[in-house]
Structure formats: C-alpha cells, structure tokens
Amino acid sequence: MDKREANIMAKQPWQMVRNDWTDYKASCLCADILAGRGPWEVDKLGYHVDHVRQAYEAGLPVPAEVLADYTNERPHWRPPASKWFVSVAGDLCNTEDINCRPVRRGYAVHHAQINTARELAATLRAGEFAWPGGYRLAFITEDGELLCFKCARENFAQIARAIKDRAGDGWRIVATTNLGEQDPDEQAETCANCYAVLLPAAE
C-alpha cells in the first residue's frame, strides 16, 4: 500500500473526493475477490453521494473539494444542521457533547430587570412572547415608554451603549413587561419608536 492509498483508507467516505472513493471501492472489490467473497459485498458501502449528503446535512465538516463534486446535487439537500441548540432552561448547548453540558447558561431567557446589554441580548433571543401563557412582551425604557422587540433588535448597539452609560436619552431599557398582565386602557399602547400597537385600546 503506497502513501496515497494509506491516506485514502484513513478517511471517512464523506472526506474523500469522488475519484478517491472510486479507487477505494475498487481496492475493496479486489480484497473481497481475493478473500473469496462475491463482488456484491462492495455494494454494502453504498453510494458516495449518499455519504456526502448525509454528512453535509448532519453539519459535519465536509471538505470543499468533496462538495465541489456535487454542485448540481447540493441545491436539493437539506441545509446543514447546527451543532448548537438552546435547552428548555435557556442554556446554549452543543450536540457534540454527549452530556449536554451548557456552553453558556442563560443564553436565551427573559429578564424582568435589564441591567446589562447581555441581559438584553438574552431576552431578545428568548423571543417576544412569554412562556407559559404566550403573552406578548415589550421593553420599558428609563422614561417609562414602551419599546417593541423589533426596534430593540434594530437599535441594539445604541441601546447597549445607553445601558452601559446609564444614559437618559430615551433608549436605555430598564425592564421587560408582560402586556398580557396589563388591563387595556382607553388608548392603545404603542412602541415609542415605530408606533406599532402593542396593546389595543379597551373596547
């Protein structure tokens, strides 16, 4: 076995370019014949494109030169799966860790009080609807106005600076409020920035 063959044998099928895979199957076929097994045994290895597709969809690091063999097939494959997921507790975890130990605790959780940009980011990641209940949430700025999640995302950098500097410019978010727990007023509650209706007026 020469150096090239040794390198090929050390790889997973999805790490081989198509030509190397063809050579690999041929060597397996020869080995089967020499061992007295039929050529159908090599068919158990499957098709190279299937190995590559499954690895790609699972989020494995398929080499670019391998993917280049299947530029026409790739549009029909599912997007790569992310190795990251958020647990029910809101912690960021890695699927490659069989113990599912949190990489970052509190990655996506709602904070009632917002004292840091990190707490704001975690609340934004958790989404604008409370669970349980499914009620819509909104942010409260230091001057008592409401700010929707969309505007908070779009102006995150400015809000983060305001939180850090404890500014009184109308952008500093200090808390999160559950709109479902509020009684409707005669006037609708709107976002102070985009004026979207957050809580309709009482009928």
pLDDT at 182: 74
Question: Which candidate, 153, 179, 166, places its Cα nearest to that of 114?
Answer: 166
Residue 153: pLDDT band (50, 70, 90) is: very high
* pLDDT interval class at 83 (50, 70, 90): confident
Summarize pLDDT for 26-55 with one digit per residue, the tens.
776 555 444 554 444 444 456 788 888 888
Q: Are 122 and 112 in contact (CB under 8 A)?
A: no
Please tell me the distance from the alpha carbon of residue 174 to that of residue 3, in angstroms, as a whole number.
Answer: 64
For residues 114 and 126, give the distance between their C-alpha atoms in angstroms, rounded to a whole number. 14
Would you state the structure tokens that stand for residue 17, as one six-digit string? 């370019």
Q: Is 166 exposed, middle or buried (0-12, 13-18, 19+ CB in 10 A)?
A: exposed
Q: How far apart are CA 181 and CA 179, in angstroms?
A: 5
The secondary structure of 75-87, three-state, reads HHCCCCCCCEEEC
Average pLDDT taken over every residue of the chain: 82
Q: At 32, give phi and psi (nearest 5°).
A: -65, -40
Indicate if the pLDDT at residue 21 is higher than 60: yes
**pLDDT at 56 (0 to 100):** 84
pLDDT band for position 131 (cuts 50, 70, 90): confident
Question: What was the pLDDT predicted at 98?
Answer: 65
Comparing 112 with 51, which gets the higher pLDDT? 112
Per-residue pLDDT averaged across 151-156, rounded? 95
Q: What contacts 174, CB < 8 A, 6 or more positions away? A: 113, 114, 115, 140, 141, 142
The pLDDT assigned to 142 comes to 96
**Extents of the domains making up the chain:** 3-76, 82-107, 117-199
Q: Is the pTM of this model over 0.75?
A: no
The pLDDT of residue 33: 47
